[in-house]
Structure 1
Amino acid sequence: MSGPGSRDELLESYILNMISHNSFTPYQSLEAAYLQFNLDAAAMPALSETRYFNGRDHHVPKSGNIHLAWEYAQDPHDYSRFLNMLHIPPLSFNVLLELIKNHPVFYNQSQSAQAPVETQLAVTLYQMGGYGNGASVQEVACVAGILEGSVDNYTDQCLTAIESLHDIYICPLTAGEKEVEKTWLENQLGFCGLWRDG
């Protein structure tokens, strides 16, 4: 089971309720027993397949301000505001966006289109640059004007796309390059450390 109140626990409770009800409350007729059996048989798959058990009592209003980043990127006088919001200069943001925007993770076979990649990247960078309560999923969702689950989805998708660039831009040092680095470090420290070949 996955935790308190999990789907498995709910199904187990339903089955126990069926057993106890059938044990202590006899049916008045075979037809009533048949109808109850059909209801129970239909209820169990429905419990297994239902994504959310508790509906919302009301619509959660959303109105973020992450869209201001695009306005800040238009005027060099506002670049510091863009940097403060997304923790990356507009030019670097655009370069990163170009590198990841065609990654398959941003495309699905659903009839519901994903949010624009630039929005997903902006939300990811905003969250990564935050700390404390300001980096909480709820706070990021509020600033971005999106649902909490979208914050996690956007971040996961952007990190998947960024990590796919690893082998293109991160290359292991050659033996000669390692030797240059070791020599530089020794010159900076003024002595040869025990880690030299370890």
Structure 2
Amino acid sequence: MARVPYHKRLIRAYIYYMLACGAVIPQKKLSQMVKDLHIDLKIIKMIACTWYLRARSAVPKSGTLHLAWEHAGSPNDHHHFVQMLRVTLLSFHFILQLIENHPVF
């Protein structure tokens, strides 16, 4: 099954929220319902137009290998670890187990 982008999932969740509120909250005057609908549509438009919906951490720049260990410690930064070492964290640990008792190391 294809991966649904985060923007679409968030918009879908907000629409479900709108439907649930409409079913649970007592009916209002038509003018208030129209105002609420305009607010909801503005929120959906803001979600669709926002480039980054999740907080992004700055990627530290350094030529040393210690950054890989910092990236390995944080689940949010595992993709940085993979980008630096070109191997997944699980594969890296497996390789370490294979070579840890080797006399060269």
**Bin for the TM-score computed over the shorter chain:** 0.3 to 0.5
TM-score w.r.t. structure 1 length? 0.28
Larger Cα-atom Rg: 1
